Amino acid sequence: MKIELSLLFFVEAIGTIAFASSGAMVAIKKQLDLLGVIVLGVTTAVGGGMLRDIIIGNVPPALFKDPIYVLLAFITVMLLFITVRMNQKFLSGRHMETFEKIMNIFDAIGLGAFTVVGIDTAVLAGYGTYHFLIIFLGVITGVGGGILRDIMAGQTPYVLKKHIYACASITGAILYAGLMNRINADIAMLAGAAAVIIIRLLATRFCWNLPTAVKKQ
Amino acid sequence: MKIELSLLFFVEAIGTIAFASSGAMVAIKKQLDLLGVIVLGVTTAVGGGMLRDIIIGNVPPALFKDPIYVLLAFITVMLLFITVRMNQKFLSGRHMETFEKIMNIFDAIGLGAFTVVGIDTAVLAGYGTYHFLIIFLGVITGVGGGILRDIMAGQTPYVLKKHIYACASITGAILYAGLMNRINADIAMLAGAAAVIIIRLLATRFCWNLPTAVKKQ
Amino acid sequence: MKIELSLLFFVEAIGTIAFASSGAMVAIKKQLDLLGVIVLGVTTAVGGGMLRDIIIGNVPPALFKDPIYVLLAFITVMLLFITVRMNQKFLSGRHMETFEKIMNIFDAIGLGAFTVVGIDTAVLAGYGTYHFLIIFLGVITGVGGGILRDIMAGQTPYVLKKHIYACASITGAILYAGLMNRINADIAMLAGAAAVIIIRLLATRFCWNLPTAVKKQ
């Protein structure tokens, strides 16, 4: 846990931007107005950490005491809103494809960073020996914001349908939790985050699927 | 914070009645039965305070220790249910318009009262120096019940669409938080609540709108 | 509260299996894939207890410290998934009827067990004198998992529509809370649980209904 704090801040910032952007895009496509876009964008970005903190009794959640990521999410959302407002063809234009590709990579980095940070927070709070708990907290930090976004926007949570998204987080969380007391903590953390990012990116590329119970026709 | 407690109780009671009524109306229109109407009505009335208390670790939430507002919400819901049940034309009748006008004013008063009470609770719990936190808690106390109502009823939260509802709460919360250490606390509280109520009522009257990113045709 | 722990474990296990199964069936019918089925099944089984623990500040919730019921829910979900996957006609076949009948009984037992366990947990945490609180916690332990399941699956919570489900839990909770200091605690607990189970089963059999405000044509 001695990884350069600046590196950790940097990857968390990237994740915050990606998550805020995904929440804002859902809201924009639903024709919500400025406030709805802000609420959904910020909730997606910081909601996972909030759920984690409530579950371990770390209240008020960190995001409220030091709202740097809230501010970053807010700025991201405003920039995106203004861009779409100024350029009404942005959503269907050719820049959109590039934008989505970059955001996909950012999103993978964010999922990796949030997952390992969630585990770290739980360990620092003294729950290191509860393996199921710390893995769950890593995953909920990673995917919780997206779940809140989907529930508020009234759609079936993405994580229930796009399996591999959560699978990447779960795999990385198990890896980090398993390695953290065996090898150098920094390397374990990097390995966990890297596993999340790689699985997440490969899955997008090759459209991995998990089976459904009733076979699709 | 030395405002006559009886005044505070009175405005909170008005808010409870209005919020319980709004929750019950959603349930009645959705053809939910008696229990559904009670659950949705009471949740709308006391849900915001419950979320606030969970976020600051004030558990069990105040509503459970002294369920006076739960009781008030319950009575409101029962009266409304019986009224509609006895008079099947109530929902489409001419009394409905008067009822909705009164409830709109009550709702504005409730939003104002809940917002400042939420801030007060957070300050009393020792979080006065976290400005973002206390403003957020004021707003979530004001709009949280409605968010829970809409999520449970399966509709996009009203607050995401009817922007100005939350904007009124946010403006009043910022005003109260900004004034509370500069002028007499009671006057700051009244100013905050008044700002919420006035913005909320004017918005209904003049149908203020916030912009959407994609311009409506 | 001295009932044989093994009996309590046994009825809680039955409830866990039934609740996990109900969550998994919702997910399977919604064509969610393996991960979605697991998440929804496990959440339905242990979600009520998690909400209860968060509300009384018993964090991290018990399920994380000793994930025996999580494991049991997981195994239930996997078995059900594999059964449906192997036998594609299971959902429409004649075994389905028997399966649903058994699960209906299990579900009633689970609702009874979870309701009284929820009250016990609250009393042990020192809230025995807050009657509204302990009754609410009993009910939320019983029906909370189903509420989370329905919110995540994007359907109006079953408990809002199938009234009698919550009514059974409420009646049993009031009975147990009322009797616990008057008669032998074990007998009070059994009476509360039995009331839930009987009301729940009779309601299924005779299709009891609560009134709606607007009469159905």
Say how many CB pairs under 8 Å bridge A and B. 83
Residue pLDDT tens, chain A, 217 long: 455 567 778 888 998 999 999 999 999 988 888 888 999 999 999 999 999 999 999 989 999 988 999 999 999 999 999 999 998 888 888 888 888 888 888 889 999 999 999 999 999 999 999 999 999 999 999 999 999 998 888 887 777 766 677 889 999 999 999 999 898 888 999 999 999 999 988 876 665 777 788 876 5
Please check the confidence at residue C205 and state whether its pLDDT lies above 80. no
Is the CB of residue C149 less than 8 Å from the CB of residue C23?
yes
In chain C, which residues touch A (CB < 8 A)? 27-28, 30-37, 39-40, 50, 54, 57, 59-61, 64-65, 67, 70, 80-81, 84-85, 88, 91, 151-154
Q: State the SS3 of B170-202.
A: HHHHHHHHHHCCCCCHHHHHHHHHHHHHHHHHH
User: What's residue A1's pLDDT?
Assistant: 45
Higher pLDDT, B42 or B217: B42
> Are B55 and A59 within 8 A, CB to CB?
yes
Q: What is the pLDDT of residue A213?
A: 81
Mean pLDDT, rounded, for B119-132:
92
- Tell me what the mean pLDDT of segment C60-65 comes to: 90
Q: Is the pLDDT of residue B184 over 90?
A: no
Q: pLDDT tens for residues B62-82?
A: 999 889 999 999 999 999 999
Look at residue C5 and tell me whether its pLDDT is greater than 80: no
CB contact under 8 Å between A32 and B161, yes or no, is yes
pLDDT, tens only, A110-159: 999 999 999 999 999 999 999 999 999 999 999 999 999 988 888 877 77
Mark yes or no for CB contact A154/B154 under 8 Å. Answer: yes
How does the average pLDDT of chain C come out, rounded? 88
Residue of C28, C30, C32 to mutate for A, most A C-beta atoms under 10 A: C32
β-bridge mates for residue A33, sequence order: B212
B45: tokens are 């009335």
Beta pairing partners, C212: B33
DSSP letters, B118-147, are: HHHHHIIIIITT-HHHHHHHHHHHHHHHHH
SS3 (DSSP) at C39: helix
For C14-46, the pLDDT digits (tens) are: 989 999 999 999 999 888 888 889 999 999 999
| Residue B217 pLDDT greater than 70, yes or no | no
- pLDDT higher for B77 or B98? B77
Task: Give the residue carrying structure tokens 């329905």.
Answer: C150
Does the pLDDT value for residue C77 go beyond 80? yes
Tell me the C-alpha distance between B100 and B93, whole Å: 11
Percent of chain B predicted with pLDDT > 90:
53
- The two tokens of residue C169 are 């839990």
Domain boundaries, chain A: 5-206
pLDDT of A81 reads 94
> C33 and A136: CB-CB below 8 Å?
no
**Closest to C54 in 3D by CA, of C125, C153, C147:** C125
Instruction: Tell if the CB–CB gap between A36 and B160 is shorter than 8 Å.
Output: yes
- For the segment B149-158, the average pLDDT, to the nearest whole number, is 83
Instruction: Give the pLDDT confidence score for residue A4 in this predicted structure.
Output: 59
Contacts of A194 (CB under 8 A, 6+ apart): A112, A172
Mean pLDDT of chain B: 88
Residue C103 tokens, joined? 């699960």
| pLDDT band at residue B172 under the 50/70/90 scheme | very high
User: Which of B212, B214, B215 is most worth mutating to test chain A (most A CB atoms within 10 A of its CB)?
Assistant: B212
